[in-house]
Chains A and B, each alone.
Chain A
């Protein structure tokens, strides 16, 4: 019997949240204090020190821990600065899509009828369209800067929230406390704020956390395809794309950029999965 009890998941939710949270806090710390932490100016070129490997090699130049890139810029400093854009775009585009999606989902759930059909069928249609394709099209049309990236990614993912919130709102609408509030004359906006949003919030937080990870991946993908911030901007996607052309002579450039991305995304995913187990897991199970 005791053996059966020991068969718990290897990593508990607390462990996941702690590890994920730590990674995220560290990354945010790096992003905020980048000028203080980074050993070099990320745009400072040094043509005498081009493509030098880092600490693992004898050819390393003192100070450049992770080596240098094709223009002799310090890789570590560029990666530290790169975390700024990834986190900024990841979080801001998540907030934008959560805002659009939540409002659309609640309205569809409360109003029902034609409004619901219009919003949810539109969401379905957009779901059938790969988000990266829409993002590629929009980024190509608008041009790459941080604001456009946030806009593009925010618009491409609102349906995820709309669907979750819509489903919850529809069930909540029939609960006695919402019906009572309606009978007492509470208008839609009041019910939305006082009764629906607090109930939806935990689920929303979980979905939003997991979406930040997706957004960061999408942003690096767009940068990698050349549709993000134009070079020489220090973004992880750009560094990876530069590394891609020098895989043979300087593989560390792509490797460390990739490692940075996977570490942050993995941390955010861990945090999200931990949060998902913390709150009712059935509500959000895909």
Chain B
């Protein structure tokens, strides 16, 4: 049953990825000739011919797309134009840094966000709720790149506690992870708060209270276990935000991850690397969503029956 569900969801995965491939292909191949951008004015016709052939630009466009798809299946995005290595190898080399940053940030955001949300819901409309909720709403309006700059200004330039950028040691991770976590944090606070408040008016909670269970007991045995699922499903939605946020965070802190690679490759018109990076990000999001859905089904029997 569960296996069948996973398989059905896996069957949809190629469809999503095909759409991603199609979008990437259209946007990058049909809007400008990479040859023009990559070779300077003093190029020889031989150079043009060689690069055109290397990128299969001499074929008709549907054929180009098929070649592109075929290469994709083999995980081959072509040679990077700026690094003398295959594009997929270049991207793979950066995956570790991105996962480190995104993982730390997500952990921070979920932990603090859920705690904040619980505090808000339990002391609803009291001072703590008003303060945390207001900060959360204001936080949703905060441009992440500006937050990053403020943190650099204060902790790196004024206080000199932490480095402005760099990679390798734990202290380099602090500011980027906090920045990225702050992008997600307000949403987790608000979604946890709403889910718990909705659950508190459910009949089984009212019953629990009326048969004499303490507020705390009801919270821990009736409300919180049921709040896991909405938060988890929201986490699936937020993986996209996490990836988008890491592109910006990596750019601010010069973090050597996939996001920064993507931006620099766009400016250098390194089409194969752009394709590989976009594809990696899209696949990561699709897989994360799949994992979340399966987890939800394992946790909540109601979803299994539906």
Stretch from A62-70, A102-110, A132-140, A179-187 forming part of the interface with B: A132-140
Minimum C-beta distance from B264 to chain A (A): 11
- Residues of A141-190 contacting chain B, CB below 8 A: 141-142
C-alpha gap A224/B248 in the complex (Å): 9
Question: Interface digits, A6-19 against B, CB 8 Å rule (1 contact, 0 not)?
Answer: 01111100000000
Main secondary structure of the interface of A (DSSP, over half): helix
Q: Are A10 and B130 in contact (CB under 8 A)?
A: yes
Contact with A along B11-24 (1 / 0, CB 8 A): 00001100110011
Contact residues on B (Cβ < 8 Å of other chain), bracket? 35 or more
**Contact B143 A141, beta carbon cutoff 8 Å:** no
Q: Would you call A129 and B240 a contact (CB within 8 A)? A: yes
Given contacts A221-B143, A262-B143, contact A128 B16 (CB under 8 A): yes
B32, A254: Cβ atoms closer than 8 Å: no
Quick check: A132 and B137 within 8 Å, CB to CB? no
Q: Taking the complex as formed, is B31 at the interface, i.e. its CB lies under 8 A from any CB of chain A?
A: yes
Which of A127, A131, A137, A273: most chain B CB closer than 10 A?
A: A137
B86 in the interface, Cβ–Cβ < 8 Å?
no
Partner of A136, one of B32, B130, B263, B285: B263
Given the complex, which residues of A lie within 8 Å of B274, measured CB to CB? 137
Chain A residue nearest to B146 (CB atoms) is: A258
- Interface-side segment among B62-70, B147-155, B294-302: B147-155
Q: Which of B23, B153, B191, B194 contacts A251 (CB under 8 A)? A: B153
Pick 10 A–B contacts, CB within 8 A, sort by A: A7-B126, A9-B125, A221-B145, A225-B248, A240-B149, A258-B150, A262-B143, A262-B146, A265-B143, A266-B137
Apart from A125-B20, A134-B23, A137-B23, what are 15 other A-B pairs with CB-CB below 8 Å? A8-B125, A133-B243, A133-B247, A136-B266, A140-B266, A140-B267, A221-B144, A225-B251, A251-B157, A261-B143, A266-B137, A266-B138, A269-B140, A273-B137, A285-B194
Residues in A lying within 8 Å of B, measured CB to CB: 7-11, 121-122, 125-134, 136-138, 140-142, 213, 217, 220-221, 224-227, 240, 243-244, 247-248, 251, 254-255, 257-258, 261-262, 265-266, 269-270, 273, 285-286
